């Protein structure tokens, strides 16, 4: 789409907007899909925090199951400054192992990726429409 807009001289600003929205949507789709799979077929369990650390503007918790087996993924949802080793936090995981486990965020803490994706898709459609109309107008 961006290549088409560049070739048809739709304008640099509109082309940059379409490229930015496309990139944002492309980065959001895998996360939204993973959250949808976990929401539909994920199972919830309590895990025990073994270590908590602050990295890259976020807290991460290393966790283990109640039977002592370690969870390979470190969790950031549900992990904050108040969580101490030995405490229990919630985790949702895919029993088929298709998606890495995730911590359970406090209510209202997790963004609604589907709504954000719909807004991005709508903005992308609007910007693409405007760019194509502009490119057609310049072709006369």
pLDDT tens track for 32-76: 888 888 888 888 899 999 999 998 889 999 999 989 888 988 998
**Separation in Å, CA 43 to CA 38, 59, 74, 92:** 8, 23, 17, 5
Quote the pLDDT of residue 109: 44
pLDDT at position 139 is 56
Average pLDDT of the chain to the nearest whole number: 87
Rounded Cα gap, residues 20 and 41, in angstroms: 32
pTM of the model: 0.64
Q: Quick one: tokens of 128? A: 């693409």
Whether residue 83 is predicted with pLDDT greater than 60 in this model: the reply is yes
- The radius of gyration of the chain from alpha carbons, rounded to an integer in Å, stands at 21
pLDDT exceeding 70 applies to what percent of the chain?
94
Task: Tell me how far apart the 2 most distant CA atoms of the chain are, in Å.
Answer: 72
Q: How far is C-alpha 41 from the geometric centre of its chain's CA atoms?
A: 18
pLDDT band at 114 (very low <50, low <70, confident <90, very high): confident
Dihedral over Cα of 43, 44, 48, 50: its sign: positive
- Say if residues 135 and 5 touch (Cβ distance below 8 Å): yes
Residues 91-110: pLDDT tens digits? 998 888 888 888 887 655 45
pLDDT of residue 72: 86
The lowest-confidence range among 22-26, 61-65, 77-81, 119-123 is: 77-81
Alpha helices in the chain (DSSP H): 2-7, 12-41, 113-138
């Amino acid at each position: 789409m961006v290549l088409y807009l560049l070739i048809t001289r739709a304008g640099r600003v509109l082309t940059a907007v379409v490229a930015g929205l496309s990139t944002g949507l492309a980065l959001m789709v895998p996360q939204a899909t993973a959250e949808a799979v976990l929401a539909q077929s994920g199972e919830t369990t309590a895990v025990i925090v073994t270590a908590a650390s602050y990295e890259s503007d976020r807290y991460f918790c290393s966790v283990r199951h109640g039977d002592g087996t370690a969870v390979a993924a470190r969790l950031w949802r549900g992990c904050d400054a108040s969580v101490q080793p030995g405490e229990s936090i919630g985790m949702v995981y895919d029993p088929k192992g298709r998606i890495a486990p995730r911590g359970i965020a406090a209510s209202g803490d997790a963004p609604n990726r589907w709504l954000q994706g719909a807004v991005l898709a709508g903005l992308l459609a609007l910007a693409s429409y405007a760019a194509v109309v502009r490119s057609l107008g310049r072709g006369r």
